[in-house]
Structures are given as structure tokens and as C-alpha cells.
Homo-oligomer: A and B are copies of this chain.
């Protein structure tokens, strides 16, 4: 894996970095095609939004693009990652104790997921962990990811591609590594991320683009029953793109031509 720490080749950060000490930072995971980040417009916008929520200054866009290109250009496909933290600081939680921010950019060659996940759909399960409710952090892809770690630790069966999460009150939120959507008539419904969950770049793309398919994008409180009753359901993140849900426990969904059209449109996106 190739890496740049504040622009310099390196694979280490200070023990005093607040990313290490407190998870005080944000990150993005991206698909790099010959070093060019897929969905960049949405990724960068999200990075800026998330950073601002934590009162961090986002790095310059051109700088990030240059670094990703330098690290990923030799690979047809790679997983890129941008981590931004509040930097190394004195002891204590106060933000004023922090120095200059830390920027870590990395790229690792990647074979991609099996094509059938996108074409035929995936199998999901319910996680027992319930996500905590924290409006001050909801939606942000921050570095406090212990809930994701605990959720992902609930299964090891490779035939299960994703675990679905409810919040403490039992509302549907997301997958351990993805956003989730339901198809109901001409509506795409997805959980509102005002109390917990991570807002992905593909989710933002969908808000702007589903109308091209005669669909309406609706953020809502959704229940387990809403998901089970949905005509179709799917997951998204920046590595998988769109994966239809094929099975969740007893519930089996038939392939949806509409979802495949949406998925193909996403894949065509620069």
C-alpha cells in the first residue's frame, strides 16, 4: 500500500495524534481508477461537510486529487482512503490543545467485489447491536467506528455480505458498511440520518439522480416491517456501488430491472 502523510511518503502517525488518541477526525474510502477517484464530486463535498461538522478544515481539492493520482495511477483499480484528523496535541480533550491537522492519503490495489453481488444481489442478516443515537455526530464518517467494528464481528459466514443495523429505538438505519434503501411504488425510501448512521457519497448521488428514473427520493423513519414489505431493497457505498438485497433471513427479493437500471447509471458516473 502506498501512503502519504501530510504529503510525504510514510506509513506512520504520531502517538499523540488525536486521530489515534480520540478518533478525532473524519475519513473517506474511495474507488480509484488509474488514480482517479470515482464519484469525486460527491466524495469531496461529503468530506468538506463532515470536516466542518467537527470544526476541521478540509484539505484543498487539487492537493487531494494530486496525491490520489500519484499513489493510484499504476493500478487499474485501487481502494483509496483519505483520513483527516485534528493533528497531534497536548493532553486533554480540548480542541485548542491541537496543532496542525493530519492528512493521510493511501491507495491499495484492489480486485473489486464479485460481479454477481451487484448483478444478482447479496445476502444480509440482522445485527444484534443497536446503534446509539447522537445527533451531534449523526451522518458523519468520523473515526469513532467501534459500533461498526462490533457489528461486523457478529458474523463470519462468507455467504453473508452485510449486516443490517437498527438504532436503540428499533428504527432501521444502515448496513455495517453501507446505506440502505427500499423501493415502494415510485418511491426510494431511505432512513433519515439525523440521529445516527453514516451518510455515504452514493447516497448523495441518489438524492440527485433517482428522479431521472421517475423515482422520488424520500428520507424517513423506516421500520423492520417497511423493509420486509418493500418491493425491492438495496445497499450502497463507494466500493460496492449498488448491491440489490437478494435475501434477508426468510425474505427473498426477486431481481428488479429498475434497480439494475439505477445501478448501471451509477456505474457510468464519472
A135-171 vs B: 1/0 string, CB under 8 Å?
0110000111111111111001000000000001000
Looking at the complex, which of A33-41, A126-134, A256-264 is the stretch in contact with chain B?
A: A126-134
In the complex, A19 Cα to B11 Cα: how many Å? 14
In the complex, A175 Cα to B177 Cα: how many Å? 32
Q: In the complex, what residues of B have CB within 8 A of residue A153's CB?
A: 55, 93-95
Looking at the complex, which of A21-29, A58-66, A184-192, A209-217 is the stretch in contact with chain B?
A: A21-29
Most chain B CB inside 10 Å of its own CB: which residue of A10, A23, A27: A23
Find residues 33-88 in chain A having any chain B CB closer than 8 Å to their own CB: 54-55, 79, 81, 83
Q: How far is the CB of A197 from chain B (nearest CB, A)?
A: 12
Closest 5 CB pairs of A and B: A23-B23, A132-B132, A144-B144, A93-B152, A12-B12
A–B Cβ pairs within 8 angstroms, 12 of them = A11-B14, A11-B16, A13-B13, A21-B145, A22-B144, A22-B146, A24-B145, A79-B91, A93-B177, A131-B134, A133-B133, A137-B150
Residue of B at shortest CB range from A177?
B93
Q: In the complex, what residues of B have CB within 8 A of residue A24's CB?
A: 145-146, 149
In the complex, A21 Cα to B13 Cα: how many Å? 11
A91-103 vs B: 1/0 string, CB under 8 Å?
1111110000000
In the complex, A188 Cα to B143 Cα: how many Å? 36
Q: How far is the CB of A100 from chain B (nearest CB, A)?
A: 16
Asked if A228 CB lies within 8 Å of chain B CBs, one says no
Q: In the complex, what residues of B have CB within 8 A of residue A12's CB?
A: 12-15
In the complex, A156 Cα to B129 Cα: how many Å? 36
Q: How far is the CB of A235 from chain B (nearest CB, A)?
A: 15
Known contacts A22-B23, A152-B94, A153-B55; is-contact A15 B145 (Cβ 8 Å):
no
Q: Is B152 a contact of A146 with CB atoms below 8 Å?
A: no
Most chain B CB inside 10 Å of its own CB: which residue of A1, A13, A20: A20
Residue of B at shortest CB range from A131?
B134
Q: In the complex, what residues of B have CB within 8 A of residue A131's CB?
A: 134
Q: How far is the CB of A215 from chain B (nearest CB, A)?
A: 31
A149 CB contact (under 8 Å) in B22, B91, B132? B22
